[in-house]
Structure 1
Amino acid sequence: MKVEVKKDEIYTWCACGRSSNQPFCDGSHVGTGLDPLVFEAEEDAELYLCTCKQTRTPPVCDNSHCKDEGEVGV
């Protein structure tokens, strides 16, 4: 999912997949044993954040959800 982040702002990426506010955490992980990933944006940027939770580079999409690695994350 493409999102805009602002330099020095703190973001909380959903790691469990339960959030209704994807790709960000809404607290739905409580009791799952999974914690969200908290990160600070290093610059103003557009990022593709993973929503399938299969990425090897959380929170950023690495196209793990694609069969054809040439596809762009969406």
Structure 2
Amino acid sequence: MKSPAIKVTVKKDKSYYWCSCGLSKSQPFCDGSHKDYEKGRKPIHYMSPQDKFMSFCTCKKTEHAPICDGNHGHIDR
């Protein structure tokens, strides 16, 4: 199974807004698509403490949003 995560280079002290609803066409980041479909949905803010590679979750099953924690392996098929 291919990992439903997207590896991104993040920069120290830069703000990132992770899509928590799955509607964004700019995965893994929010593009505001939820506004028309889901009330109460908000992106999750993330600010990196350093420059690094990071795997952002795209299955939305992570318990450590926005970081992929491998829960996609437990998704019902």
The verdict on a shared fold, with TM-score over 0.5 as the criterion, is yes
Q: Is 1:15 the counterpart of 2:29 in the alignment? A: no
1:19 is displaced (CA, Å) by 0.2
- The corresponding residue for 2:65 is 58
Runs of 4+ aligned residues of structure 1 deviating over 4 Å after TM superposition are: none
How many angstroms apart in 1 are the aligned matches of 2:73 and 2:53? 20
1:29 is displaced (CA, Å) by 1.3
How many angstroms apart in 2 are the aligned matches of 1:48 and 1:13? 11
How many angstroms apart in 2 are the aligned matches of 1:38 and 1:52? 17
**May I ask how many residue pairs the two structures share in their alignment?**
67
Aligned-pair identity in percent equals 48
Structure 1 residue identity aligned to 2:7: K
Tell me which protein shows more helix as a share of its residues. 2
Tell me which protein shows more strand as a share of its residues. 2
Structure 1 residue ranges without an equivalent (≥5): 68-74
How many angstroms apart in 2 are the aligned matches of 1:29 and 1:35? 8
1:66 is displaced (CA, Å) by 1.2
RMSD: 0.9
Structure 2 residue ranges without an equivalent (≥5): 1-5
